[in-house]
Amino acid sequence: MNFLTPTTVAIAAALSIPPLVALYFLKLKRQRYAISSTLLWKKAIEDLHVNSPFQRLRTSLLLLLQLLVLALAALALGQPMMAIEREREKSLILIIDQSASMAVVEEDQLTRLDIAKREAARVVDNMDENSRAMVIAFCDRATMVSSFDTDKDALKRKIDSIDQTDSTSMLAEAINLAEAYSQNIIIGGDKAGTDVIPEASATASVMLFTDGRVADADEVSPQRLDLTNMEVVKIGQRSDNVGIVTMNAMRNYEKPEFLQVFASVRNFSDQPASVDATLYFDGEHMDVQSVDLSPGIAPPSDDENAQPTDNGNDVVPPGSMASIAFDEIEFASAGVVEIRINAQDALASDNRAFAIVPPSRRVSILLVTEGRWQLTDLMSILNVDAQIMTPFEYENADDELLADGTRSRFDVVIIENHRTDRLSTGNYFFIGQAPIMEGVRDLGIVDDEVFIDWDDTHPILRHTAVGVIDIFEHWRRLRLPSEATILIEGSSPDSNVLSLLSRDGSRFLICAFGLVVENDEGEQVLNTAWMLDPGFIMFMMDAIDFLSSSISTQSLASLGPGEPQVVPVPPDTDYVTVLRPDNKTERLPTAGTQRVTYARTRRTGTYTFSPGIDGKDQIAVNLFNDNESLVRPTTSFAIGSSPIASTEGANLVDEPLWPWFVMGLLLICLLEWVIYNKRVFV
């Protein structure tokens, strides 16, 4: 209960109560009369005693009742108000955020998700018997927790069953789900003939329980839900957080038994931070580094007229991030690399990052060529395991020799002067020709041209002096898809000399000129003297290093929470057991295949598959999401271009209480009048 005018209460009490009490101390002035006896005047004598000054005030029921009347009158003048739960629409749609930032522990030791579920349960408790509610939980995906139901206990049980995830917060699917389920839904009653047909979703009241860290809020476009009936219940207060935002582990190309680990740590709070980053291999402590971080978000200004800054608008400055590098650490076997920071902050899921590293080995190369010494001799110089085939042998080789399922068995396949569409998922380097695939067209020959532009900042060309490369005869004119990256360009259209194309998990490096070509007389002649230059060796090393980095030198790619992963399994395996980061297990049927697809990756950490294939039996899931690590709740919320009203906790309305005080005052006045008259006439 609160008062709109609390000072009025004090003023009214001060002006009325002391005079009333003083009246009971005042001595009455009466005329004197001589009488024979005072036997029948006891009441008058008592009044004389009561009104004698400086005597102790005796207990008086009338005085207490009169004081109570004045107190109620003073309180009524203060306009008392009581905050009560607002009466809701008959159809409610409760949408609860279960993304990573909702795991923040607030001051009451409850997570934001716990608070959101508590507030949603309060709303359900406040529904009248004719109301019904639907519950949706969302992160990167939306889940129908409960369709429209009138059973409050069942609704609260389903709300309580919502689990925390480490996924990102995407609202669009939840809104679409709400619209779909709220159309033409019939709620089954306990008895025949008691089914309920709810109102259309356009009249439903939507309540969103979130901290506002919704990545796609400005892209959501409801078709039927009325945003005027939508209310956002803002959850959370804390803003202190330091998190790991990137991590990579890669082996040294020349010394693959040595590992290099890199990470970036960012401060998302408005205070400077200092943390220790500790490196672990398979749980064993290896190294530790300390980093100091500048504030990530400027604290709010005390000046109400101050203009908002970028930092006050959730823009994390670059100075709040620091890089960590653990160099040349010997780790030849396969295993889990982990970095932990000791930040005692609001969010725990971004304080650890994981990477799965394969065992050390040399890069495996398949060279498809007619036996050009320029390339075959180069394989013996490079630190690689090379297998050589002719184009005929390549086209007629068994599938098991070239691929493991749909994945190439080789880290890099180099194909010289041969076009092919036999392309398993992998990394390919075409020299003098292009792959046969959609969007790639060979338009003939380009001659008498020079290179006019190239990207010497790209890792493939970083050690290559492109300007000294001399082409004697010609190169192919290739038309490539728009997503291709042109590294070396000629002077005419579609004169793409060196290009990089990524598609469906494969990478294609396409060099339009061959080392040896046919001249106009049909003779095999050298097309360039570049392969006689040491720079050609550096180019080939950089190209192989770049193409093979995703498989042989770098860690296996980590997933974001909620992303699926296809995991190979041994032959004749019926079931695979998955050990999750929470130490719980689940069994997956293989359905007779040699791979399983696993998508329940909503918590960060490592997932281990048993039985599995060595080096491919684990996956790592990391948060790496600035929007979730920036845990400070948003001060305003909008869907599309429409701002939505937000409240902290369930939406309460102020109900005036002064009429009840006035009613009580009148009843006490009536009681005082009855008691007074009874005493007088007795």
User: How many C-alpha atoms does 575 have within 13 Å on its Cβ side?
Assistant: 6
pLDDT at 385 exceeding the cut of 70: yes
Residue 599 covered by a domain: yes
Kind and range of the H or E run holding 672: helix 658-681
Burial readout 476-486 (b: 16 or more C-beta within 10 A, e: otherwise): bbbebeeebeb
Residue 207 covered by a domain: yes
Alpha carbon of residue 94 to chain centroid: 20
- This prediction's pTM: 0.62
Which range has the top average pLDDT, 43-52, 287-296, 634-643, 654-663?
A: 287-296
The pair of structure tokens assigned to 130 is 């004719």
Q: Which of 553, 575, 594 is the last residue of a domain?
A: 553
Output 138 or 649, whichever has higher pLDDT: 138
Looking at the structure, tell me whether residues 419 and 534 fall in a common domain: yes
Task: Give pLDDT, residue 24.
Answer: 61
pLDDT at 654 exceeding the cut of 60: no
State the Cα–Cα distance between residues 187 and 93, nearest whole angstrom. 14
The pair of structure tokens assigned to 56 is 């102790």
How far is CA 363 from each of CA 277, 356, 597, rounded to the nearest angstrom?
31, 18, 27
Per-residue confidence band for 91, with pLDDT thresholds at 50, 70 and 90: confident
Average pLDDT score over residue span 124-141: 90
**What is the percentage of the chain residues whose pLDDT exceeds 70?**
80
For 226-262, write each residue's pLDDT tens digit.
777 788 899 999 999 999 999 988 776 667 778 889 9
154, 114 Cβ separation under 8 angstroms:
no
Task: Give pLDDT, residue 306.
Answer: 42
Task: Give pLDDT, residue 45.
Answer: 59
State the Cα–Cα distance between residues 225 and 574, nearest whole angstrom. 46
- Name the DSSP letter for residue 533: S
SS3 236: coil
Looking at the structure, tell me whether residues 132 and 184 fall in a common domain: yes
State the Cα–Cα distance between residues 182 and 637, nearest whole angstrom. 24
State the Cα–Cα distance between residues 557 and 580, nearest whole angstrom. 18
First and final C-alpha spacing in the chain: 43
Looking at the structure, tell me whether residues 354 and 379 fall in a common domain: no
Looking at the structure, tell me whether residues 175 and 277 fall in a common domain: no
Per-residue confidence band for 40, with pLDDT thresholds at 50, 70 and 90: low
Looking at the structure, tell me whether residues 281 and 369 fall in a common domain: no
State the Cα–Cα distance between residues 432 and 417, nearest whole angstrom. 5
DSSP-H helix ranges across 78-204: 112-125, 152-160, 172-181
Task: Give pLDDT, residue 638.
Answer: 81
How many domains in the chain? 5
CATH number of the domain where residue 486 is located: 3.40.50.880
Residue 619 covered by a domain: no
Looking at the structure, tell me whether residues 488 and 424 fall in a common domain: yes
Looking at the structure, tell me whether residues 545 and 472 fall in a common domain: yes
Residue 322 covered by a domain: yes
Looking at the structure, tell me whether residues 356 and 367 fall in a common domain: no
Residue 501 covered by a domain: yes
For 373-383, write each residue's pLDDT tens digit.
778 888 888 87
Q: Which amino acid is at 299?
A: P
Task: Give pLDDT, residue 430.
Answer: 96
For 171-204, what is the HEC assignment? CHHHHHHHHHHCCCCCECCCCCCCCECCCCHHHC
Output 430 or 640, whichever has higher pLDDT: 430
Output 618 or 47, whichever has higher pLDDT: 618
pLDDT at 202 exceeding the cut of 50: no
SS3 630: coil
User: How many C-alpha atoms does 522 have within 13 Å on its Cβ side?
Assistant: 0
Domain residues for 512?
363-553
Secondary structure E strands in 358-494: 363-368, 384-389, 403-404, 407-408, 412-416, 427-431, 441-447, 451-454, 474-479, 485-490
Looking at the structure, tell me whether residues 532 and 385 fall in a common domain: yes
Output 503 or 656, whichever has higher pLDDT: 503
The pair of structure tokens assigned to 581 is 């980061």
CATH number of the domain where residue 295 is located: 2.60.40.10
The per-residue pLDDT of the chain, averaged, comes to: 82
Per-residue confidence band for 34, with pLDDT thresholds at 50, 70 and 90: confident
Instruction: Write the DSSP assignment of 260-313 as a string of letters.
Output: EEEEEEEE-SSS-EEEEEEEEETTEEEEEEEEEE--SSPPPPS-TTPPP-SGGG
State the Cα–Cα distance between residues 454 and 462, nearest whole angstrom. 11
Task: Give pLDDT, residue 413.
Answer: 95
- Smallest CA-to-CA distance from 248 within 257, 261, 265 is with 261
CATH number of the domain where residue 95 is located: 3.40.50.410
Place of tokens 């259309």: 200
Residue 376 covered by a domain: yes
12, 74 Cβ separation under 8 angstroms:
yes
Strand order in the sheet with 585-589: 585-589, 575-579, 605-610, 618-621
- Name the DSSP letter for residue 528: B
pLDDT at 193 exceeding the cut of 70: no
Residue 306 covered by a domain: no
The pair of structure tokens assigned to 128 is 């009248």
Task: Give pLDDT, residue 370.
Answer: 87
Per-residue confidence band for 159, with pLDDT thresholds at 50, 70 and 90: very high
Task: Give pLDDT, residue 228.
Answer: 72
Looking at the structure, tell me whether residues 327 and 385 fall in a common domain: no
Output 167 or 65, whichever has higher pLDDT: 167
Task: Give pLDDT, residue 309.
Answer: 39
pLDDT at 481 exceeding the cut of 60: yes
235, 632 Cβ separation under 8 angstroms:
no
Residue 559 covered by a domain: no
- Smallest CA-to-CA distance from 664 within 86, 83, 80 is with 80
Looking at the structure, tell me whether residues 368 and 332 fall in a common domain: no
Burial readout 392-419 (b: 16 or more C-beta within 10 A, e: otherwise): eebeeeeeeebbeeebbbbbbbbbbbbe
Looking at the structure, tell me whether residues 398 and 520 fall in a common domain: yes
State the Cα–Cα distance between residues 550 and 560, nearest whole angstrom. 17
The pair of structure tokens assigned to 489 is 């360009």
